[in-house]
Amino acid sequence: MFKKIKNSVLQRGMGNISIFKSKNVTVNQIQVMDQMQRYLQNGEVDNAVTLLKQMEDFVHSRHPCAPFWKYEFGIDKNGRKYISHVPAFAGAEKEMPLTGRMYVVIPSHYKKFKTMKNLLNFSYGMQQEIEFDLKSLKTWIGETLIDEFEATESSNTKIKLIPSEFPPPLPMKLYLKDNSWSIDYLLIGAERIEGSTITLSNHKQNDAPMAIELIMNLSLSTANFNIKLTDGGVNSVKYILKYLDLVDKSKKTSKPELALKLLENDTDVISSPNWDFNDNEETEPEVYITLKKVHHIEEEYSIEFMFPNRAFTDFELYIIDVLYHTVKDGYFRRDFKDSYTITIDNYSEIQKLLGIHDKDSCLNFQLANPSNDPFELFGIKFKPVSNQVIFDNVKLDMPEKLRMKSKLLDAGEHVNVKLIAYNDESYISERLIVEPINNNL
């Protein structure tokens, strides 16, 4: 479609006099606008609509090829005003066809196209506007000359070829035909056309967690899928796992067909029995296991973490394990191989602990709420509700030193008590029940 870009609109006809198709009424344009304002101020919407329709009919009636063609005025996506000629009804262009002849200077980087048809196909396929230096232009509708232009040395007039837009994207579903994997809603549409190669994608779906690209070569009858996480998807544990799941399934010798389905009529657009994935990177099993734990925590607390694109810290790995096993197993139980330090500021509690140690150096005891400080994990703040630590088969480190320190303990002071493993069957179990803190409060 050609559009002539103008900074102003030239009215052809009877100056500032507009004749409407109402009974013997001739009105001045200023009077029409005043009347429109009065209608709107008085809430007479029907009258305002009727007047607006009369104005529109009058403009269309002034087209030199009315009633077959009419004017269309508008502002393009770049804010420029334009006037174009459009058929007034279906089939009008066949009765009075639009034809034209123009001479333009094609920019050097487009001269690789041997014919204007090839250039037009490129403009449409790449959705790219093309601007020419216009030397002369004549257009006709039927036998009526409607535009004529001849460039001068100083005119520097441009004409822009604006391709028609691709059809809007359609709702589709990408899935494995054994129903073990799917993305249930994608807006898939044409992105570009290069020769016999058509690229379909969801590039206009701004909130999509994955970028889907289907490249089809019609002459070779081949099709390739490209799938990657978007900026939004790369921070979502759910979609990272979904992505990795597809990578894993792609590596199996026997795998189900990958298909793209049009949701409107529940029909597969394309189905591929032999497909490979475009990601050759290996994910460490430990990372995959940790992601599964994090997703389990998300589902338990109905939250969604903002997952970082970096390695896990030791604190994050520890909290993930404690929260996951508390939810799943009740406690996070593991071998006690290192040490654990507790702080006690009560003399009698220290003596009680030493008394147990003197009878049997192997200790079994429980700490309630050793720490109730809020903490943050992947953008979500948590408040501990219940915090328990249970020790099985542990012993005091340097008990005599602890005994001496306890005798010198003043009111308000505290002593650090270090626990170490008693034997190969020493264990520590932790139970941490939390609730997410609403950051919007």
Over the stretch 256-281, which tens digit does the pLDDT of each residue have?
999 999 999 999 988 888 777 765 66
How far, in Å, CA of 103 to CA of 137, rounded? Answer: 7
The two three-digit tokens of residue 421, written as one number = 């493993």
CA 318 to chain centre: 32
pLDDT of residue 149: 87
pLDDT of residue 272: 83
Dihedral of CA 254/255/256/260: which sign? negative
- How many beta carbons lie within 10 A of that of residue 12, not counting itself? 8
pLDDT of residue 367: 81
The two three-digit tokens of residue 355, written as one number = 């008394």
Q: How far, in Å, are 204, 206, 274, 316 from residue 242 at the CA level?
A: 21, 19, 20, 22
Pick the more confident residue, 158 or 24: 158
Q: Are 153 and 133 in contact (CB under 8 A)?
A: no
pLDDT average, residue stretch 335-347: 85
Q: Are 127 and 163 in contact (CB under 8 A)?
A: yes
Q: Are 109 and 126 in contact (CB under 8 A)?
A: no
Decide if pLDDT at 11 tops 50. no
Band of pLDDT at residue 428, cut at 50, 70 and 90: very high
Decide if pLDDT at 5 tops 80. no
Question: H or E stretch including 71?
Answer: strand 69-75
Over the stretch 356-401, which tens digit does the pLDDT of each residue have?
787 777 888 888 876 778 999 999 999 999 999 999 999 988 888 8
Q: Are 384 and 433 in contact (CB under 8 A)?
A: yes
Decide if pLDDT at 329 tops 70. yes
Q: What is the pTM of this model?
A: 0.68
pLDDT of residue 27: 43
Q: Which residues pair with 436 in a beta bridge?
A: 382
Residue 55 phi, psi dihedral angles, 5° rounding: -65, -45
Q: Are 239 and 209 in contact (CB under 8 A)?
A: yes
Pick the more confident residue, 164 or 8: 164
Q: How far, in Å, are 91, 169, 277, 366, 400 from residue 60 at the CA level?
A: 17, 33, 56, 89, 104
pLDDT average, residue stretch 145-149: 89
Q: Are 258 and 271 in contact (CB under 8 A)?
A: yes
